[in-house]
Amino acid sequence: MAEESGVELLVDYPRFNIFEHELVPRHEVISEEERKWLLETFHVREEQLPRIKDTDPAVKAIGAKPGDIIKITRRSPTAGETVFYRYVVKGKYAPQIAKEEYGVIEEGEEEVVEEEERWEEL
């Protein structure tokens, strides 16, 4: 298909800088020092922080990995500047979800069920 149209869509490749959009707040991976300060100050463990998946576009854009803590700084005309922290966890990428939920096959795999048969089963 890509050969016919001359265009190929790369699933994990960013198409634009999401941080240039006015509704996307600043995201950054915190340092070990800030991580220690956060956990000690608020008397929490990493697992107790709100989570964000590593498949989130902002997380992918800053290169965060599972186990990192993200600092999100939002600006609001009413609340001023607010800071939120999120613990990065492993998420499923679209190809994994498609394969598990819809039976989509990867290149090199054999198709087990014909499409018409699949719809008849549903």
Quick check: is 121 in a domain?
no
Quick check: is 4 in a domain?
no
Residue 101 and residue 99: Cα distance in Å, rounded? 6
What residue numbers bound the domain in which 96 lies? Answer: 12-107
* 63-78 pLDDT, tens digit each: 999 999 999 999 988 9
pLDDT value at residue 17: 75
Quick check: is 5 in a domain?
no
Residue 121 and residue 115: Cα distance in Å, rounded? 10
* 89-120 pLDDT, tens digit each: 998 765 665 566 666 555 555 544 444 554 55
pLDDT value at residue 85: 97
Quick check: is 2 in a domain?
no
Number of domains present in the structure of the chain? 1
In angstroms, how far is CA 11 from the centroid of its own chain?
12
Quick check: is 38 in a domain?
yes
* 1-43 pLDDT, tens digit each: 445 656 555 555 556 677 777 778 999 999 999 999 999 999 9
Quick check: is 113 in a domain?
no
pTM: predicted TM-score of the whole model, two decimal places: 0.64
Q: Tell me: pLDDT of 83 over 70.
A: yes
What CATH number did the domain enclosing 28 receive?
3.90.940.20
Quick check: is 117 in a domain?
no
Quick check: is 16 in a domain?
yes
